[in-house]
Structure 1
Amino acid sequence: MLEIKQVPPTFPNIGVRVDLPALAFVGVDDGDIVGVGGLAWGGGRCWIWLQIDKPKPEYAIPLMRKTKALIKTARQFGDTEVYTPRDSCYATSEKLLKVLGFEFFGIEQIVDGPAVEIWRYVRT
């Protein structure tokens, strides 16, 4: 069963370099870290991010709940918009973002990386 736990953004086992102010979380299943994510602030935007190494269908509901909770946290910090890059490797990521209330925002070039779809959640 997936457990989602808050960790410091500098937590060594998350496998992602976080160099922005952030709230970080790890997903743990059967003692293994299976994913990381959280909120980060940079470039004048609030970002929600997720990296999952071993996806399972049963992770969908807890991840959706945590995403909604993080959007609420962003609102409490005064952010009316939350951005996220869409991982096009997952065919269902577009549908998931739409279900969560995100809308396509545009294509942006990542420094030293590929162009990425950016999606935005706007508080209504």
Structure 2
Amino acid sequence: MTATPKAMPRVVIVDDDFLILAYLEEVAQQLGCEVVGTAATPAEAVALCDAARPDVALMDVRLGSGADGITAAETIRTTLGTEVIFITGSTEPQTVARMRALAPRAILAKPILPEQLARALRQPSAPAAR
């Protein structure tokens, strides 16, 4: 008996850079994901995830005007149970430690390749943050 391949997750994409947002949306769709929405601010991200209930949020860390995607990801992960994949250019040790504390599915450093996103999206679910 052959195992059935796991369906790709429903995703929300959060980034304040339109070009990166468009790139991630295109790649996610090419990988077979259903993109249920995009957001550019932490507040939009939380509201969208609450309404759409995606499986995974692709989350930028620095969202314009110093807004923090990690704080939004914490709400999305702990309150809604949505998994998070951080896609970020922020690799400082303090920032990485904050991301890891949320038990994300993955942390991907920009620029990312489609293969990196595919691996992260196909990974088994991460345990919930405490």
TM category, shorter: 0.3 to 0.5
The TM-score normalised by the length of structure 2 is 0.40
RCO higher in 1 or 2 (8 Å CA, sep ≥ 6)? Answer: 2
The TM-score normalised by the length of structure 1 is 0.41
* Structure with higher strand content: 1
* Structure with higher helix content: 2
